[in-house]
Amino acid sequence: MRNASGLEFIRIEHPRVRALLSLLGGQLLQYRPTGRPELLWLSEWAVFDGSKPIRGGIPLCWPWFGKAPAQGPQHGTARLGRWQLEQVEEDEQGITLALLFRDGALELRQRLRLGPELELEATTTNLGGAAARVQMALHSYFAVPRVTDCRIEGLGPDYRDSLKDCHVSGDDSCRFTPPFDRIYTAPRGKTLLHAGGLRIRLEHRHHDSLVLWNPGPALPADIADASGFVCVESARLRAPWLLPGQSTSLVLQCRPDPMEPGHVPAAG
Among candidate residues 75, 139, 204, 207, the one labeled active-site is 139
| 139 included as an active-site residue | yes
Is the link from the previous residue into 63 a cis peptide, with omega within 30 of 0?
yes
Among candidate residues 75, 194, 207, 233, the one labeled active-site is 233
Distance CA 47, CA 55 (A): 7
Whether the Cβ atoms of residue 254 and residue 117 lie closer than 8 Å to each other: yes
User: Angle at CA 150, nearest 5°, toward 149 and 153?
Assistant: 145
Burial of 252 (0-12, 13-18, 19+ CB in 10 A): buried
| 207 included as an active-site residue | no
- CA-based nearest residue to 127, from 147, 108, 152, 99: 108
Dihedral angle sign, alpha carbons of residues 69, 75, 80, 83: positive
Residue 198, C-beta contacts closer than 8 angstroms, at least 6 positions apart: 36, 37, 256, 257, 259, 260, 263
Cβ burial 131-156 (10 Å sphere, 16+ → b, else e): ebebbbbbbbbbbbeebeebebebbb
What is the gyration radius of the CA atoms in the chain, in angstroms?
A: 18
Distance CA 107, CA 81 (A): 12
Q: How many helices (H) and strands (E) does the chain have?
A: 0, 22
Which residues are marked as active site?
139, 233
